[in-house]
Amino acid sequence: MQFKDLVSENKKDWLKVVKHPFVDEIYRGKLAEETFKFYLIQDHYYLNQSMRNMAILISKAENLKQKQQLIDILNIEANVEFAKYQELLEYYSLEVKSAEEMKMTYSNIAYSNYLLAVSSQAGFAEGMAALIPCYWIYLKMAEYHHHKLKENDNQIYQDWATVFKSSDYKELVENMVEILEKEIETKNFKKLNYHFKNSIKFEYQFFSDVYQRKIWEI
Ligand SMILES: Cc1ncc(CN)c(N)n1
């Protein structure tokens, strides 16, 4: 069993994420600005949690090479993607609030806590399988939609997309896949697939909630 088996098992689901209207509209430059701002605030929180999650995985990595690779990935994540979000938030004068102060979508709370729970309570391989869709799916989105950027006259959305079509980002994803690849075995495939699939579904729900600007309420 290999990473490509996780990809083929879940193709129908991950293609739905890639083709989500939020993604299509941002690459075409047509996404409503208020929706993008809503996404930025939600995603900034998510990324912060995701970096905490990575720190747990670094602590669980079994050998020095894995630790070094994950530290490099975290470094790129902080200096490329997270730094871009800080810039964009400043551009829109959007204030970063704590979880207690901000109004969160259901999927944001569920997804970020799911990742933290898997990393802390399950093994390293399961934590990696749950985390990979977060990075890998944004690369797939860039590969699928990048041609739309030629006619996108929204400089901010162009800027956002630059992160995910950069060679640094591609390398980051390839390194993560390389780490997981070494962990996949026939006997753990079902478990890894379960977490990979859940995260793909969370990615879909995350886009759906921000697209509708749907705060968690009863
Ligand atoms: C929810 C989510 N998932 C993935 C990514 C890309 N690292 C992101 N920015 N936000």
User: How far is Cα 11 from Cα 109, in angstroms, rounded to an integer?
Assistant: 25
**22 CA distance to ligand 1 middle (Å):** 13
Which of the four pLDDT bands, split at 50, 70 and 90, describes residue 176? very high
Q: Is the CB of 138 under 6 A from ligand 1?
A: yes
Question: Domains of the chain, with CATH numbers?
Answer: 3-211 (1.20.910.10)
If one residue of 109, 200, 203 were mutated to test the ligand 1 pocket, choosing by the most ligand atoms within 8 A of its CB, it would be 203
Residue nearest to atom 7 of ligand 1 (CA): 135
The rounded Cα 203 to chain-centroid distance in angstroms is 7
pLDDT tens for 185-206 read 999 999 999 999 999 999 999 9
ipTM strictly over 0.90?
yes
pLDDT tens for 28-59 read 999 999 999 999 999 999 999 999 999 999 99
Q: Is the CB of 126 under 6 A from ligand 1?
A: no
Comparing C-alpha atoms, which of 181, 190, 200, 4 is closest to residue 114?
200
**What is the model's pLDDT at position 96?**
84
The residues near 75 (Cβ < 8 Å, ≥ 6 apart) are none
Comparing C-alpha atoms, which of 130, 148, 129, 139 is closest to residue 169?
139
The residues near 31 (Cβ < 8 Å, ≥ 6 apart) are 22, 25, 157
**Residue 133 in contact with residue 11, Cβ under 8 Å?**
no
Residue nearest to atom 3 of ligand 1 (CA): 134
The residues near 69 (Cβ < 8 Å, ≥ 6 apart) are 175, 178, 179
If one residue of 22, 42, 46 were mutated to test the ligand 1 pocket, choosing by the most ligand atoms within 8 A of its CB, it would be 46
**What is the model's pLDDT at position 91?**
95
pLDDT tens for 100-149 read 888 999 999 999 999 999 999 999 999 999 999 999 999 999 999 999 99
The owner of tokens 């800080």 is 86
Q: Average model confidence (pLDDT) for the chain?
A: 95
The owner of tokens 């759906």 is 208
The residues near 145 (Cβ < 8 Å, ≥ 6 apart) are 18, 23, 24, 27
Quote the tokens at residue 22. 């939020």
